């Protein structure tokens, strides 16, 4: 049984890049251990429903979707995209039962910059209204992300988040000619500030021992933000141009977490070199996946784990933010971020 404290509810989670979802198609997806069917109606609007027919529980994603109507493959019950039952074929024509009284739970959905987000509430109440806005993806509404890569991490959301915000692994896991080398370690000093649901590394000049930043000229600066449930945004400014690189973690269940990296830039050279950059991004994420496969093997023996010193302080912040967020929702009280502005040091 899944530990209920593992997943944070009443928050928005990334389902996938919009390019995955075509009109007239249904996609069944597991998120936070919940089975969800996602589709796009004839007007292009995205919808998400609990992926079970309320009759006998068969996944609705296994059925048919035509003319904005979902039909279950077991007994042919039909539902509109709001989850309201439209008909029960086996019911006699003169039956007085009103099928519209049957409704599949409908999840709130937001489509932002070509990414699709689903709000996962703690309580599945009719007409659920999110009490949190969708995440800020930095871009203007008309700007679209380019999908880079999605991989499945063999770890729960907590281990995945720690890997995402851990500064010490970069030198050893991501050794490459275009990034940095373990032979060029350097003491780093980074200023952190709290945000609405997390923390950010205040805007600063990129590390001089990272070749990837070295090709950018013209007053380059970067700001890195992390917010629960698992969204890391790096916003790089190069003069009047920008790069937005967002890594998003979506917990699938207690053993798997989906990692999605989306990317945007208005730097002409980067757009011209998009295909090789995409390959490099895939290699970078593949390095993380490789070490997580090793981590998964190590965790099978249930070792005692530790978080030590300033390099691991962001991980400790994450656990405290997560604990206080869940407590605030449980008690129906405002969330108070425990992170205070401070400067951290580590060698990488």
Separation between Cα atoms, residue 256 and residue 289, nearest integer Å:
12
Tokens of 46: 């995205």
Separation between Cα atoms, residue 126 and residue 104, nearest integer Å:
9
Spatial neighbors of 323 by CB under 8 A, at least 6 apart, are none
Tell me, yes or no, whether 163 and 233 share the same domain. Answer: yes
Q: Give residue 53's domain range.
A: 11-120
Instruction: Return the CATH number at 112.
Output: 2.102.10.10
Separation between Cα atoms, residue 218 and residue 178, nearest integer Å:
20
Structural domain count of the chain: 2
With beta carbons less than 8 A apart as the criterion, state whether 294 and 287 touch.
Answer: no
**Cα R_g (the chain), whole angstroms:** 22
Per-residue pLDDT of the chain (348 residues; tens, 9 = 90+): 557 789 999 999 999 999 999 999 999 999 999 999 999 999 999 999 999 999 999 999 999 999 999 999 999 999 999 999 999 999 998 999 999 999 999 999 999 999 999 999 999 998 899 999 999 999 998 999 987 789 999 999 999 999 999 998 887 887 665 555 556 678 989 999 999 999 999 998 876 545 455 445 545 789 999 999 999 999 999 888 999 999 999 999 999 999 999 999 998 887 777 787 778 878 888 888 889 999 999 999 999 999 999 999 999 999 999 999 999 999 999 999 999 999 999 998
Tell me, yes or no, whether 194 and 310 share the same domain. Answer: yes
User: What's the whole-model pTM score?
Assistant: 0.91
Short-list 242, 244, 241, CA closest to 232:
244
With beta carbons less than 8 A apart as the criterion, state whether 70 and 39 touch.
Answer: yes
Tell me, yes or no, whether 60 and 176 share the same domain. Answer: no
């Amino acid at each position: 049984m899944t530990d209920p404290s593992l997943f944070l509810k009443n928050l928005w989670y990334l389902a996938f890049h919009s390019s995955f979802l075509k009109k007239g198609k249904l996609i069944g997806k597991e998120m936070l251990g919940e089975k969800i069917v996602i589709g796009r109606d004839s007007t292009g609007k995205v919808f998400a429903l609990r992926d079970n027919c309320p009759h006998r529980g068969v996944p609705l994603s296994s059925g048919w979707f035509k003319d904005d109507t979902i039909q279950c493959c077991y007994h042919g019950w039909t539902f509109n995209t709001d989850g309201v039952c439209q008909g029960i074929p086996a019911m006699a024509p003169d039956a007085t039962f009103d099928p519209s009284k049957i409704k599949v739970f409908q999840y709130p959905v937001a489509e932002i910059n070509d990414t699709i987000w689903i709000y996962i509430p703690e309580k599945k109440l009719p007409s659920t209204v999110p009490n949190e806005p969708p995440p800020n993806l930095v871009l203007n509404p008309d700007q679209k992300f380019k999908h880079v890569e999605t991989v499945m991490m063999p770890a729960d959301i907590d281990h995945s988040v720690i890997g995402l915000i851990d500064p010490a692994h970069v030198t050893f896991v991501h050794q490459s000619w275009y990034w940095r080398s373990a032979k060029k370690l350097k003491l780093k000093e980074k200023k952190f500030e709290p945000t609405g649901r997390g923390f950010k590394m205040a805007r600063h000049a990129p590390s001089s021992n990272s070749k990837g930043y070295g090709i950018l000229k013209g007053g380059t600066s970067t700001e890195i933000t992390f917010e629960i449930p698992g969204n890391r945004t790096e916003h790089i400014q190069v003069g009047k141009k920008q790069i937005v690189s967002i890594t998003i973690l979506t917990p699938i269940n207690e053993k798997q977490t989906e990692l999605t990296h989306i990317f945007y830039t208005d730097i002409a050279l980067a757009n011209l070199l998009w295909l090789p950059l995409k390959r490099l991004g895939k290699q970078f994420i593949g390095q993380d996946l490789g070490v997580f496969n090793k981590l998964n093997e190590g965790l099978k023996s249930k070792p005692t784990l530790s978080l030590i010193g300033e390099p691991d302080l962001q991980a400790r912040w994450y656990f405290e933010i997560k604990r206080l967020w869940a407590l605030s929702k449980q008690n129906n009280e405002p969330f108070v971020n425990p992170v205070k502005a401070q400067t951290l040091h580590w060698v990488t």
